[in-house]
């Protein structure tokens, strides 16, 4: 399995493509937008330049990694001859189901179909295909080239053979695979998102300010980044989507998103990617200046 396809050239997709290509896999990076593909490749090149500057790789390594990636705006063209597809499209159920139906019809019968979803049911995704035993979750962490963890999510019908193949593949990428069963939020987000939501509730209720909440968690709990800065980094729209999936899945009020988070997303305040969330990113990409909203 040396040929893989990655669907989506956004933050996660280009990171996944980078990671496979750096380990000398041939990667077909697919996105419906040529602009997104160009932006994704520019990000990969920039991240590789940073690694060269830190002497972690050579210039030749960088060039080989870039040569290992081919871009496509057509799924049909991009998935020809691949042994694995990793879907990293927007966290939207209807979109993912549509993509997997299409992949099922286009890919060879022995191609494994994986999703990088952070919360959506792998069982539900697999059910729209004729190969649910070959559908699996590969939830990489952001930034993908740096973070070691891969949550491997087994759907209800995922075969042990598929799981073992993906587990070994993850190890070849120098990642640490962790087996997780298919329940809303899996492990990472089932624990992380309620913490982020509670931090937003703490702000919403006026207990403390943005910097104060983040400082308590960094200095008191040894977190490398405060929960509000982390929410901005992830994307407030993504946080809201994951919380909604968990709330719908469990019907437990502890997963209900804070009204402040809902309002911020409706107002277009998505975090660092939109230029403003709990912090203001108009002058600096780092979470240093608290948004004027707070």
Q: Which residues are part of the catalytic machinery?
A: 118, 139, 151, 189
Alpha-carbon dihedral angle through residues 225, 227, 230, 234, given to the nearest 10 degrees: 160
Q: Which of 73, 99, 68 is nearest to 85 (CA)?
A: 99
Taking the C-alpha atoms of residue 89 and residue 68, their distance in angstroms, rounded to an integer, is: 21
Among 99, 113, 119, residue whose Cα is nearest residue 182:
119
For residue 86, the cross-strand partners are 6, 114
Backbone angles phi, psi at 31, to 5 degrees: -155, 145
Q: Measured in whole angstroms, how far is the alpha carbon of residue 156 from the centre of its chain?
A: 22
Q: In whole angstroms, what is the distance from residue 72 CA to residue 76 CA?
A: 9
């Amino acid at each position: 399995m040396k040929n893989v396809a990655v669907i989506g050239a956004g933050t996660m997709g280009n990171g996944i493509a980078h990671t496979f290509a750096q380990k000398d896999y041939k990667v077909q990076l697919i996105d419906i937008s040529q602009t997104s593909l160009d932006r994704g490749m520019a990000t990969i090149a920039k991240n590789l330049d940073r690694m060269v500057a830190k002497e972690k790789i050579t210039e030749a390594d960088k060039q080989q990694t870039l040569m290992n990636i081919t871009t496509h705006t057509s799924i049909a063209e991009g998935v020809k001859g691949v042994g694995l597809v990793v879907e990293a499209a927007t966290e939207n159920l209807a979109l993912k189901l549509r993509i997997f139906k299409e992949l099922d019809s286009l890919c060879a019968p022995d191609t494994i179909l994986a999703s990088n979803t952070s919360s959506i049911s792998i069982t539900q995704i697999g059910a729209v295909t004729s190969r649910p035993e070959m559908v699996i979750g590969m939830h990489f962490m952001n930034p993908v080239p740096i973070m070691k963890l891969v949550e491997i999510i087994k759907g209800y019908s995922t075969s042990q053979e598929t799981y073992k193949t993906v587990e070994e593949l993850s190890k070849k990428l120098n990642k640490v695979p962790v087996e997780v069963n298919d329940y809303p939020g899996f492990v990472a987000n089932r624990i992380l998102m309620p913490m982020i939501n509670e931090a937003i509730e703490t702000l919403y209720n006026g207990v403390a300010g943005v910097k104060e909440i983040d400082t308590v968690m960094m200095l008191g709990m040894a977190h490398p980044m405060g929960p509000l800065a982390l929410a901005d980094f992830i994307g407030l729209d993504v946080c809201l989507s994951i919380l909604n999936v968990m709330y719908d899945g469990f019907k437990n009020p502890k997963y209900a998103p804070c009204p402040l988070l809902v309002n911020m997303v409706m107002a277009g305040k998505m975090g660092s990617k939109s230029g403003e969330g709990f912090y203001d990113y108009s002058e600096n990409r780092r979470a240093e200046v608290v948004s004027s909203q707070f």
